[in-house]
Amino acid sequence: MNKKFARNIIFLLIIPMVLFLGFAACPNPIDDNLVTLVEDILAPQITMTEPQNFGQYKSTISLSGIVKDSSTAVGDNQGRVSTLAYEVQGHYLLAGEISLSADGQFGPVDIDATELSGREVIVVTAEDWNGNISENEIILDENTSGPYINIPEMFSEYTNQVTISGTIANSATDSAITEVKSITWQVISEPLLTETLNFDRDIVGNYIVVPEEATINYTAPNAFNFTVNTVLLVKQQSIIVTAEDWFPHTTQILCTLTDGKKGPYITISSPNDGDFYHSTVTITGTVQNDESDTGLDTVANISCSLLVSGGDEGTITFTDSLPPTFTPDNGTITFTPPNTYSIELSTIDPVQINKDTLTINIWSKDKTGLATSEEILLFKSGGPSLDIDTPLPYTTTVSIGGTVKSWDGARNAYEIASLTYSFDGGTTNPSLSFTDVSGKIEDDLDTSELSGDQTLTITATDDNGNQTTASIPLTDGLPPTLAVDSPGTSYNGSALTISGTVEDYNEAGKAVDVASLEYSWDTVNYENLDYTESNGKINDSVATSTLYGPQTLTIKATDDDGNSSQTQFSLTDDIAPEIVIIEPDTNDPYGSNVLIQGTVKSNPGITGVDDIASVSYQIGTIPLGTLSFNGGVIDETIDISALSGDQTLTITAKDKKTPTANESQITVNLADGIAPILTIDKPDDGDKYGDTLAITGTVEDYVDADSALDVNLTYSFDGGINTTNLNFTDGAINDSIVTSGLSGDQTLTITATDSAAVPNSSVKTIDIVHEP
C-alpha cells in the first residue's frame, strides 16, 4: 500500500476520536485554539491546464496549472504549499522545481524535449508544510509530423522559369519557425534541379537563415519563395517541396507544373511584308526569350530560309546569355546585342531567283527544341530607286543632287548601269554623275542654251534593263537681256526718250517671257515702260519735270519667273530753281528799308526746296546779301538807308548742282521815295515883312548831307507869286525875295523837290506879318 495513502487514512480516523474526547471532557464547545492543534492530513490538489494528458509533444513541453492546499478555504493558499516540482520519468536531468504565484498559479514552464522520443510520462509533485504530498502524472506521445508548409498555388504554368511562393511554420497552430531546420525543393524528373535553405541559431539562441542558394528567399516571419529555371524542361513537371525540423521530422508538398512555352519571340522590322526584292535582301529584326522577356538564355538558334530555293541561309547558335557564336551556312547572319539580328540574303548566288514573289522564313528554336517562325512575302523589284532633290532655278548651269540605288531599300548603286538626263524631251545625255558606293548624285549640268521653264527627265537603268524615271520641273533663273541706249548725261524738265531692246534670254528679237519693263528715278518709284513683245523694241519717254538734283535712272526687266536684269544711267540736273517775287513791285518807292516777299522751288514742277543752295539779293552799292527761305517762303526786310535815287533790286536763287549751279534771277526797279532835308532859319512864324524878305536856311539831299545838287527849291505866297529859283549854294539858303506887291498877313511856302522819277518834296510853311 502506498505509504502516503495509509498515513492519510490514520489521520482521518484520529480526528473523530479527538473530537469525541474533547466534547466528553469539556462541556463547552471547541474554540479556535483547539482547532489549530488538529493535524493536517490533506495533500495539495494539482490541476494541469497544459499539456493535456495523452497529448503530443515536439521540441518543447510547456507546463501550466494551479495547485491548492486542501486544508484551507479556496483561494487561501499562501504559505500552505511548500514545494512544487516536475520530473520526466526516466530522464533525471529533465527535472526541477516550479515557482508558483500567491494564488497557486504556475507556469508556463518549458521542458526541452529535443532528446525525447516515443511515449513519455511527466510527474508533477506538490508538498505542503505538513509533509502532505500529491502527484499528477501526464502521459505524452511524440508528435512525428514535420513543419507546416502552405503553398496556395499548387498548380502553375511555366515558360522559361517559374516562381513558387508559400509560408512555413512549426505547425499549423504554431506560427514560429523555431523547430524548422531547412526547406528544400527538387524537380522530380531532374533530381539535379534542387536547392536547400537551412535555418540555424545564432550565438544568443535566435533563429537565423543560412542560405545555400540565392534563389530561395525567406522573409520573416514565415514567407518564402524560390524560382526554378525551366528552360530545359518540357511537358508536365512535378516539384516536391520538403520542410525538415530538428528531430528530424519532414513534411512534403507536391507542386504540379504544366508546360506553357511558346518558343522564342521573333520580329521582322525590315523589309515590310509586300516590299520589293532585288539581288540582295537585308532582313533585320529581334529575337528573345518571349514577348515580355528580352533575354536570350532560352534561345538555342535562329535561322533563315528562302522558301523559293529551299536553302538555309545561316544559323546563329546561342550557347548562353552572352553574345552568341555564329556558324554561317550560305549567306550571312550577324547579331548585335542585346537581341537584334541582321541577315543578308542573295537572290542570285548560289541560286538565281527571278520569281514574281519570294517568301522568306525566319525561325528560331529554344533549348527544348520548341520552334517559332515569322514569314514575309516580297515581290520582284520594278527597277532602281531614284530620289532627286528639288534644284534651284537654273542660270547657265543647274546643280542636281539626290540618290540613286539599285532598288528601293538598297544600300548602294552597284547594279545601276546608267544614269541619263534630258531637257524637255531633247537630246539624252548619259553623263549624270553618281557614286555607286552610296548612290549619291552630285553634278552640274550645262543650261546655257535653255530659256524659260524646263522639265528635267532623269532615267536610271539597272543591269537587268529595269528603268526608273524622275521628272523634275526646272524654273528659269536666267534674266532677260536688256540693252538701253544712253539717254544723255542730264535732264532739263522735258520728256526724256528711252530706246533700246529687251529680249528673252537666248531668244534674240523676242520678249515673250518678259513680264514687265519698268523705270525709276531716285525720287520716283517704278513705273512701266512700253516695249514691243514680238521684237523686244523699247520706244518710250519719261517725264523729268518733277525731278531735282542728280538722279539715277534705273531700267529693270523682269521675266515670268521673277528673274530680273537692269541697267542704270546717272544724269545731272539742268533745271534752274523757280523764284517768284510778290513784294516789292516794279517802280515801288523805297525808303530806308524794303520788304521782300516771295517763293522759291527746286523745280517749277514740284513743291520743295531740297535742292536749293541759296537765295541772295543785290541792290545799289549795298554788298550782296542772303535771304532765308524756310519751306520755300521768302519774307524778309533789308536795310537800304544808304541808297538814294532810283535803284534796281536783283534776287538770285541757286541749286546744289556742282561744280556750276543752276540759277534763276529776277530784278525789280525801285523808285527813290525819300524827300530832301529842308531847314529854314529865317523868317520865322510871326516875323514881319516889308518890300523884301530875307530867307536863310539849308537844303540837303537825304543820302549826301553836304550836297543838294539833285534838289529844286521853290517858294510861294498866298498871293500866288511863285519863284522857282530860290538861291542856295552847297545846300546853304541865303536869298532875298521882293514882297512889295504883298499886303496883309501871308503864308510863305518853301518846297524842296528831288530829281527822282517820282519827285519827293519837303515843304515848310511860315506865317509872316506885313509891316507898312
pLDDT of residue 59: 80
Q: What is the mean pLDDT of residues 691-713?
A: 73
Say which CATH superfamily domain 391-405+413-474 falls into: Immunoglobulins (2.60.40.10)
pLDDT at 149 > cutoff 70: yes
- Averaged pLDDT of the chain: 82
User: pLDDT tens-digit profile of 10-43?
Assistant: 444 444 444 444 444 444 443 444 344 456 688 8
CB-based contacts of 183, cutoff 8 Å, min separation 6: 149, 168, 196, 197, 216, 218, 224, 241, 242, 243
Lowest-confidence range among 180-194, 470-484, 511-525, 719-733?
Answer: 719-733
List the CATH code of the domain at 578-672: 2.60.40.10
User: pLDDT tens-digit profile of 589-629?
Assistant: 877 889 999 999 988 888 888 889 999 999 988 888 999 99
pLDDT of residue 151: 94
| φ/ψ bin of 509: left (φ > 0), alpha (ψ from -120 to 50), beta (otherwise) | left
pLDDT of residue 328: 40
pLDDT band at 83, cuts 50/70/90? very high
What is the distance between the terminal CA atoms of the chain, rounded to a whole angstrom?
220
pLDDT at 707 > cutoff 70: no
List the CATH code of the domain at 481-573: 2.60.40.10
List the CATH code of the domain at 40-142: 2.60.40.10
Q: What is the mean pLDDT of residues 281-308?
A: 84
Q: What is the mean pLDDT of residues 278-288?
A: 84
Percent of the chain exceeding pLDDT 70 equals 84
Cell (9 digits) for 625: 546779301
Q: In which residue are the cell numbers 513784294 written?
A: 583
Q: What is the mean pLDDT of residues 343-364?
A: 75
Q: What is the mean pLDDT of residues 48-61?
A: 90
User: pLDDT tens-digit profile of 423-482?
Assistant: 986 778 778 899 888 899 999 998 888 877 889 999 998 877 788 899 999 988 888 889
Contact 490, 573 (CB under 8 A): yes
pLDDT at 204 > cutoff 90: no
Percent of the chain exceeding pLDDT 90 equals 33
Longest CA span, the chain: 223
pLDDT at 752 > cutoff 70: yes
pLDDT at 389 > cutoff 80: yes
List the CATH code of the domain at 148-259: 2.60.40.10
H or E element, residue 519: strand 514-521
pLDDT of residue 498: 94
Lowest-confidence range among 103-107, 346-350, 372-376, 504-508?
Answer: 346-350
Q: For residue 307, how many C-alpha atoms fall within 13 Å in the half-sphere facing its CB?
A: 13
User: pLDDT tens-digit profile of 214-270?
Assistant: 578 888 889 999 999 888 888 999 999 999 988 888 999 999 999 888 889 999 999
If one compares 717 and 519, the residue with the highest pLDDT of the two is 519
Lowest-confidence range among 123-132, 310-319, 566-575?
Answer: 310-319
pTM of structure:
0.43
List the CATH code of the domain at 265-380: 2.60.40.10
DSSP notation for 742-768: --S-EEEEEEEEE-SSS--EEEEEEEE
Q: Look up residue 13 and give its DSSP letter.
A: H
pLDDT at 739 > cutoff 90: no
Burial class for 502, CB neighbours closer than 10 Å (0-12, 13-18, 19+)? buried
Contact 666, 577 (CB under 8 A): no
pLDDT at 58 > cutoff 90: no
| Cα separation, 348 vs 342, whole angstroms | 19
| Cα separation, 120 vs 702, whole angstroms | 171
| Cα separation, 520 vs 144, whole angstroms | 119
Distance of CA 309 to the CA centre of its chain: 53
Q: Could you tell me the CA-to-CA distances from 665 to 233, 580, 616, 629, 653 in Å, in that order?
A: 122, 10, 9, 15, 6
Q: For residue 163, how many C-alpha atoms fall within 13 Å in the half-sphere facing its CB?
A: 6
Give span(s): CATH 2.60.40.10, the chain: 40-142, 148-259, 265-380, 391-405+413-474, 481-573, 578-672, 677-770
pLDDT of residue 211: 52
| CATH T-level topology, domain 677-770 | Immunoglobulin-like (2.60.40)
Q: Give the residues across from 336 on adjacent strands.
A: 340
Beta strands in 58-158 (DSSP E): 60-68, 81-88, 91-97, 105-112, 119-128, 133-142, 148-150, 155-158
